[in-house]
Amino acid sequence: MLDPARLGKTGRIPAITWKSSQGLDQMGVVAGPRGVLFIRRDGHGQLGKLFIPFVFSPTRFGSWRAWFRCPGCLQACRVLYGVNNLRCRKCRGLKYQSQFERPAFRLLDRTYKIRRRLGKPGASGDPLPPKPRYMRWATYYRLERMVLRLEMAGCAAVSGLVSAVARKTR
């Protein structure tokens, strides 16, 4: 996984090392103002080079954010994956962890994140922790309503899943 944010202010990315079946392999990474050059020896000792150009987008305060241009789909992407050929998440067909979860559990995970944001995560149905010191009351009340709504929908969906499993086992 390679992220252009790792360039930082130095403009350098350390060499990438990984374990392969032949032993320890290493890829040289040379960052320039227009992109990144990857240099690696293949199994026959030949040098393989791959240049990935940057795409820049403006930020809110007049600066520029660097993105990789995916060699596969030519879209701007933040992270490239792979060893022999680098591609974006969409080209590789990778999914986020939450995309494997059922919608009912995603709702309950969202309530857990809100509870954690408020200071003390608790189980569904527990009273919410008090308002954090610097949070506005309007924000706290909005999050409180959202937690109640999400917990009701999540519990209803989970009970539907449980009843469906109970019907199948009869």
Which pTM was predicted? Answer: 0.54
Tokens encoding 164: 């469906």
Residue with tokens 């390679």: 2
Are the C-beta atoms of residues 29 and 1 closer than 8 Å to each other?
A: no
Judge contact between 67 and 54, C-beta under 8 A: yes
Tell me the per-residue pLDDT of 45-94, one tens digit each, with 9 for 90 and over: 677 788 889 898 998 888 888 899 999 999 999 888 877 678 899 999 98
- Beta-strand runs (E) in 22-145: 23-31, 35-41, 47-58, 64-69, 76-77
